[in-house]
Amino acid sequence: MKRFILFIVVTIALVGCRTTRYIPVVETHTEYVTKHDTIMQRDSVMLHDSVYIHAKGDTVWYERWHTKYIDKYIYNVRVDTFLKRDSVPVPYPVPASLTWWQRTKIEFGGYLIGAVAVLIALLYIMYRRKST
C-alpha cells in the first residue's frame, strides 16, 4: 500500500509544465526630432538714377542715365519639430498553451483528489478489518 501511494506521489511530482517560451512584442520608443533648414535667397535690385556726377582728381564726369545694381542675400531658417516613433521587438514570457491532458487535470483534479482520498480511506478501513 505504501508503495502504491509513493508511486502516485512520484508520478504527480514528475508531471509538469514545459519551459517558458518568449514571444517578441513590439515596443515603441518616441523621440522628438528637430530639423533646421537654412534657405538662402538672392535678391537683386536695380536702381535707376537720371543724373550722376562723380569726380576723380580735377576731372568731373556727368552721366545722365545711371543704373546701379544692389545684391542682397536673405537667409531663412526653418525649424521643424516632429515625433519619431521606433518599434523594437522585445521578448516577454508567455505561458504555454495547455494540452488536453493538462486541461482535464485542472477541471477534474479536485474531484479526483477527493475520490482518491476516499478510496484510500476505504482501503485502509477494509485492510484493518481483515487483519483483526
**Model pLDDT for residues 74-103, shown as the tens digit of each residue:** 888 888 887 777 766 666 676 778 888 788
How buried is 102 (Cβ within 10 angstroms: 0-12 exposed, 13-18 middle, 19+ buried)? middle
- Residue 22 main-chain phi, psi, to 5 deg: -105, 130
Cell of 53: 556726377
Q: 20: pLDDT confidence band, cut at 50, 70 and 90?
A: low
pLDDT (0 to 100) of residue 119 = 92
Q: Are strands 66-94 and 52-56 parallel, antiparallel or unpaired?
A: unpaired
**Model pLDDT for residues 31-79, shown as the tens digit of each residue:** 888 888 888 888 777 777 677 778 888 888 777 776 777 878 888 888 8
CA distance 2 to 10: 12
pLDDT (0 to 100) of residue 110 = 72
